[in-house]
Amino acid sequence: MDFRPYVDRLFREAPDRLNSTRQNPVTGSSWVSGVDRPGPQKRAACRALVAREWFAWDNPGISPLPLSYAEREKLKGKSAVDYIVSVYARSLATQKYRTAIHPRFRDYARGVMASPFTPDFIKHDPAILKDYPPRPLGGLGPGLYWSPAKISR
């Protein structure tokens, strides 16, 4: 799916379009108009929207992938699975939404359940344990961020 026309419209119609400090309407990232070029922000928005579509296709019935800090934080308090979706989204964002290199949600969730960095209220949730039995995931570190560089360590 080509999100470029949609993203162009979001940027063109953004409430802060006349401000010097702007916010990416999809990812929430800040940038400075006239200093930072909008192209990289628009590409990041498109990658994030593609990742959201991929996530929905790969994980039917789960909350949509949150793309901004505010969306991720709002989702954290809903349920244990939503908490994992939130940290998954944050981890995927640090990899620039490269879904081809980041573990899929099921593998990531199982890694979260095996991680010493996971909060107890998640690790002891019976529904999550049933759906995502613990299985260590190489590259998963503090903050539940996944990194391909950490796999070989």
Q: How many CB atoms lie within 10 A of CB 152?
A: 7
Q: Which two tokens stand for residue 139?
A: 């590259």
Q: Residue 152 falls within a domain, yes or no?
A: no
Mean pLDDT, each 10-residue run in order, the chain (153 residues): 91 92 94 91 96 96 95 91 96 94 96 95 92 95 88 53
For the residues of 63-107, what is the DSSP string, one character each? PPPP-SHHHHHHHHTT-HHHHHHHHHHHHHHHTTT-TTTSPPHHH
Assess if residue 148 is contained within a domain. no
pLDDT of residue 1: 79
Q: Is residue 126 part of a domain?
A: yes
Question: Could you tell me which of 34, 5, 39 has the C-alpha nearest to residue 21?
Answer: 34
> Is 153 within a domain?
no
Q: What is the model's pLDDT at position 150?
A: 63
Residue 33: beta bridge partners?
36
Instruction: For 95, list phi and psi in degrees, rounded to 5.
Output: -95, 20
Answer left, alpha or beta for residue 97, where phi above 0 means left and psi between -120 and 50 means alpha.
Answer: left
Specify if 72 maps to a domain. Answer: yes
- The pLDDT of residue 151: 60
| Cβ–Cβ under 8 Å, residues 74 and 120 | no
Per the structure, the complete domain to which residue 108 belongs is given by 4-143
Confidence at residue 77, expressed as pLDDT on a 0 to 100 scale: 82
Tokens found for residue 93: 């964002």
pLDDT for 89 equals: 97
Q: What is the pLDDT of residue 152?
A: 52
- 32, β-bridge pairs: 21
Q: Do the domain assignments include residue 51? A: yes
Strands 21-23 and 30-32, sheet pairing: antiparallel
Instruction: Report the amino acid identity of residue 124.
Output: H
Number of domains in the chain: 1
Residue 13 lies in a domain: yes
Is 133 within the bounds of a domain?
yes
CA atoms of 135 and 99, how far apart (whole Å): 20
* Helical packing angle, 69-76 and 80-94, nearest 10°: 160
